[in-house]
A = this chain, B = another copy of it.
Amino acid sequence: MLTVALPKGGLLKDSIQLFQAIGLDFSEFLNPANRQLEILDSSGRAHGLLVRNYDVPVYVEYGQAHLGVIGYDVLREKQPKVAHLVDLGFGQCRMSVAVKATSPYRSALDLPPHCRVASKFVRCAHDYFQSLDLPVDIVPLYGSVELGPITGMSEAIVDLVATGRTLQENNLIEIDRLFESTARLIAHPLSYRLNQDGVQDIVEQLRTHTSQVVAGKAVAEAAIKTVVETPASA
């Protein structure tokens, strides 16, 4: 039977809606009373696994789940051996360099060589500063990365930014962007190639649905633009 690994946290609701659109219902995971981490979808055609964000690519890489939904940021950081199939469009955020608003730095290249950069995304941060030929000391943190510059432990941070509110609350400003991130559909490469449990068909349905959603959004945005650009008196 098809098994899908879904991430706890910010991407869960959209992920569940995505699978609902093609007839696989894992909405029990959104029920606050639910304590099960493994459920059968209500049509009885697929298993859902609810795991930590970072664990989604592990379950897929080790073949325990055929498919998974995960942020591009995690794929960039962990580089798991999984097939990247569809950009799902939701969960938009960016990986950014931020510093204290009161600091003199206005771009990553302004940072002094051998300064400290705190991050949960050690590999992303390392690769970025290496691409700039700027040697820095990466401080690996697990949470509250914004404490780095506040306590004076680091000159800068590399972290995910969605709305920018956390940065603002901590008097930090973005000075550079490493990349944009969205949720991605990933698959176990061999399961996908061998079409185990009809996984290719499911992927095609998800791909079609996603492109329809994206096209729908573009039409809606164009309509809004037309309304805005057309003077009310016309």
The answer to whether B58 touches A141, judged by C-beta atoms less than 8 angstroms apart, is yes
Among residues of B, the one whose C-beta sits closest to the C-beta of A153 is B64
The answer to whether B140 touches A58, judged by C-beta atoms less than 8 angstroms apart, is yes
User: Is residue A37 contacting chain B, with contact meaning CB distance below 8 A?
Assistant: yes
The answer to whether A151 touches B55, judged by C-beta atoms less than 8 angstroms apart, is no
Q: Which of A46-54, A99-107, A174-182, A201-209 contacts B (4 or more CB under 8 A)?
A: A46-54
Among residues of B, the one whose C-beta sits closest to the C-beta of A65 is B151
User: Is residue A116 contacting chain B, with contact meaning CB distance below 8 A?
Assistant: yes
Q: A165 to B51, alpha carbons, bound, how many Å?
A: 20
Q: Which residues of A from 17 to 69 have beta carbons under 8 Å from B?
A: 37-38, 49, 51-55, 58-59, 62, 64
- Chain A: interface size category: 20 to 34
Q: A152 to B53, alpha carbons, bound, how many Å?
A: 20
Q: Which of A88-96, A142-150, A223-231 contacts B (4 or more CB under 8 A)?
A: A142-150
Among residues of B, the one whose C-beta sits closest to the C-beta of A61 is B139
Which residue from B37, B49, B142 sits with its C-beta under 8 Å from A55? B142
The answer to whether B38 touches A116, judged by C-beta atoms less than 8 angstroms apart, is no
Given the known inter-chain contacts A116-B62, A139-B62, A141-B58, please indicate yes or no for A151 contacting B52, CB distance below 8 A: no
The answer to whether A49 touches B141, judged by C-beta atoms less than 8 angstroms apart, is no
Q: A21 to B151, alpha carbons, bound, how many Å?
A: 26
Which 7 residue pairs of A and B lie closest in terms of their CB atoms, listed nearest first?
A52-B143, A64-B153, A54-B142, A52-B142, A55-B141, A55-B142, A64-B151
In the complex, besides A51-B144, A52-B142, 13 extra interface pairs with C-beta distance below 8 angstroms are: A37-B144, A38-B147, A38-B150, A38-B151, A49-B151, A51-B143, A52-B144, A55-B143, A58-B139, A58-B140, A59-B151, A62-B116, A64-B151
